[in-house]
Amino acid sequence: MRTTVVFFAVSCSLISCLYSRLPYDSKALTYKNKFVFSDQIKMNGYFYRETETGIRAEYFFEDGYYSTGGSLNLQNNLCDTLDKNVRKIPYAWGCFIIENDTLKLQYFPGYGRDKYGKFMTGERWAKVADGGTTIRYFRKKDIDGKVAQIDEVYRFHPCNNKPASTNVLMGSN
């Protein structure tokens, strides 16, 4: 009996952590389905920034979706893979538009769900430079609406096996 109760409790805990139970504020994605691709930035690879803890990568897709990448190797022309579980996590994805030379990105930071009951939208703005091979983030708005100035430069790296943009935001929430 005790084993059954423990098994039931563990099962309920695991079920509550399923990806489909990660609510997000889909109405806040005002850039969704608004991007029109016309060679504003390079798309056949990823943008990266080296940090103290490793390399942060961002993928931009021609359909206006965005994703953060995993571990990367800058020594070769291979992209990181985005496995099927990452595609179900809202805070790994976002949407973007480009107006003139300004990239505007909406995304779901991995925090704040405990406060709001769902993942809320953050926003970052960047200048596109060097023929679409450099993006410099200069502004960030957090989930509480607080705006901060930032200075993060990402450079383009081509890759031969860029993953598809299929993700949880493509469906309805």
What is the token pair recorded at 89?
A: 């996590």
pTM above threshold 0.95: no
Residue boundaries of the structural domains of the chain: 21-168
Range of lowest pLDDT (82-86, 115-119, 126-130, 169-173): 115-119
User: Mean pLDDT across the chain, nearest whole number?
Assistant: 79
b/e map of 144-167 (b: 16 or more CB within 10 Å)? Answer: eeeeeeeeeebebbebeebbebeb
| pLDDT band, residue 72 (cuts 50/70/90) | low
| pLDDT band, residue 133 (cuts 50/70/90) | very high
Q: Which neighbouring-strand residues pair with 60? A: 66
b/e map of 66-92 (b: 16 or more CB within 10 Å)? Answer: bbbbeebeeeeeebbebeeebbebbbb
Which pLDDT score, from 0 to 100, does residue 126 have?
97
